[in-house]
Amino acid sequence: MREVRYRAIADELRGRVESGELGAGRLLPSESELSRAHLVSRVTVRKALELLREEGLIDARQGFGWFVAADPVRQALGRLGTIEDQLGELGLSSERQVVGFRFLSPPPRVRQVLGVDAVLEVRRLNLADGQPFARVTVWCPEEVGARLSRAEVERTPFYELVGVPIGGATQTIGAVAASAADAHLLAVPVGSPVLRCERVTRDFGDRPLLVSEHVFPAHRTEFVVDLPKSEPSMGPSGLRLVE
């Protein structure tokens, strides 16, 4: 009887994945939720999930639980570009949804970098093939933001809106735990691992123009950089101790 039940659960989940109801990277209900929904033990649920993992349909990661298997999006660090550009090059559809647009006093870190007392803060959710991929917050000086509308920042990259040529950027990447707000937007558990990127974009005179924060679910993206061999050591460069 248990074998019939676990195969029935696997069939039901397989159908939801193949129909697209559960898209690539989407989290599945937890083992406890599936156990209650199907009135079976977690042992039976786990057997169904393991069967689907053997088929390559789903996978699991510590801190996330079970999710629909998908190759992580590999983002190159060797050049400056937008999320939309990188997703497009990989053949993935992209969409941005603005979830916050307001003028305010900047957070301390943003004030330190931009050297201003008022900023426009834009928060958005980026989707890849319809699934949450990144939460992005961008801060720009009020004098720049005053010329922009919510509709403009939803359809056009900031790089095309700041009004001056972009000279380059510095990006810092670290691992953090998902806050309640980010967990809700990204459809991941609170406290699950996410990659946080801070980017400071500058003009050709090295003046900071934008500060942005990008948060990615750790199971959905990888950052890739080519390291030409120029030193005897083969260790990664650019490491910094987090205090």
Domains of the chain, start order? 2-68 (1.10.10.10), 73-224 (3.40.1410.10)
pLDDT score recorded for residue 125? 94
pLDDT score recorded for residue 21? 80
> 151-182 pLDDT, tens per residue?
999 988 888 888 889 888 998 999 899 999 99
Packing angle of the helix pair 31-38, 2-18 (nearest 10 deg): 110
pLDDT score recorded for residue 239? 47
Which parts of the chain register pLDDT below 70? Answer: 1-3, 71-72, 76-81, 229-243
pLDDT score recorded for residue 98? 94
> 107-124 pLDDT, tens per residue?
999 999 999 999 999 999
pLDDT score recorded for residue 118? 97
pLDDT score recorded for residue 31? 86
pTM: 0.75
